[in-house]
Structure 1
Amino acid sequence: MSKGAAYLDGAYMPLAEAKIPVTHWAYRRSDVTYDVVGVWEGNFFRLDDHLKRFRASMTRLRMTPRETDDEIRAILNRVVALAGLTHAYVAMDCLRAAPPPGAPRHPAFAPSYLMIYAVPWVWVAPEDMQARGMHLMIPKVQRIPPESFDPRVKNFHWGDLTEGQFEALDAGADFAILLDAAGNVTEGAGFNVFMVKDGTVVSPDRGALEGITRASVLELCAEAGIPVEIRPIPADEFRAADEIFTCTTAGGIMPASRIDGRIMGNDRPGPVSARLRARFWERRAAGWHATPVRYTVT
């Protein structure tokens, strides 16, 4: 199972064999919540935090799979061990099925179940892109507002993010950063964003997932004595930032070097971004928030 191992509704299998029915609402309605935890050098990073957020998302969507948190923890470990991976991208999905025959066509009558899998590590931004800095842009499409769907619940409602990525492609950029209806920065396709202005790190206060890696960035800033502000970031202020960086499970801290064609600094990651990125991986190597994978499969 070196290409990927999966657990689907009670059974383990190679990832290529994991399939869901096309009639399930997980597929037909994107009625899914998910989380992703990384494994680096044989250690999960912030596993408890990911499990807590995953459970909160399931509760918010009224999903009740049969597995307990301890059982989910064991399944995550087992799929990594079955695949034999020391660097892995490990996804946990809770999917809504369809109501059984004769039941009302209402989500309350559709059971939920888990799909969990591990594949070799995935970079959101390749390492060479991180070294030169991501090229970002602000698209016309706006982020789905929190009043429509709570962005703190990880979900597959990526229509806006996907459209933004096509706008980025057309503009010759790597990734799009979406604004809300008030013109403030929210997030990108699978990552949180920060800007640096006059030595202060600033991150949006609403409209985005409260990322686990984002929490790690705030911890690193506190350790280093770097001032932090959590507040609205208007688009023009974001475009004028001294530095911009992003963060996600599948990539850690990922600096940018351009925004809407404007070159920041010397067209390379700025000093604060580079310092935090280096410190993030140093701390990871030292066992920060680490849970070792048990590779003995019984």
Structure 2
Amino acid sequence: MRDRFIVVNDCRFHVIEAGSRQAEPVLLLHGFPQHAYAWRHLIAPLAGDRHVIAIDLRGCGSTDAPRRGYDTSQRVADVIALLDALKVARADIVGHDWGAWLGFRLALDHPDRVRRLVSVSMVHPWVMQRHLIPHLWRWWVTALFEIPGVGEWVLRRRPEVAGWLLARDAPDRGLWTHQLRTIYSGPAAEPARASAGRRLHTQLVLRDIPRLLLGVDRRRPFTTPTVIIGGDGDALLPPSVLTVPLRLADRVTVRVVPGGHFLLDESPEEVLNLTVQHLR
């Protein structure tokens, strides 16, 4: 694996690459409260015949944490700028959690840049509201991260909250050792990163979740071949929420595997196998 930093949009991004740069590129986008380390089980296997690119998104991991730029439109612009800097015209995208939401927005906004998409633990933008709305109460925990002042305090001073979020629906909570939880929650001890986590959630609750509930993206064409992978015990997004409209059946499939919300850590082999099958 090769680590480097690339500056785009006035932000220095941490980028991990593996495999041949002449191979088909696959871009890995992590969720919250994680960073590129979440892909550790997938990078080496995918790199056998792929150019693997895993990035720490704005405000996460070892990437800079500026005060602005946490809305999804800016995060999309960050990814496109990074692909341009890497001279990648088109890539497969694998995303988890809000990284998967970012993948969907990339497919909608820049369909020419996305060949295939794998979404792990995230609903499609054309989600069926009658399935989603009864489960919105499950997102109560994110309210702790959304409120200015409160979100920063929780992320910085109470890392056990993020640790609990990671482990709460895991079939085997023993997997989530103190060390592993700290790897993910530890960076938020830095004030700028705690602020980044709060700003991300504020933008999501003010813009993206209303957009999802109003079905804004149903008015836009979605053509990217996609597989959605969900955990059978996901406490945030149970399998029933992942159902997509019939008119997407020729482009989008849904697969359910054992695990909770953080499948990259809990069921990496299942995620890897479904990813490899879809990206062939």
TM over 0.5: no
TM-score by length of 1: 0.27
Structure with the largest fraction of helix? 2
Compare CA radii of gyration and give the structure with the larger one: 1
TM-score by length of 2: 0.28
Structure with the largest fraction of strand? 1
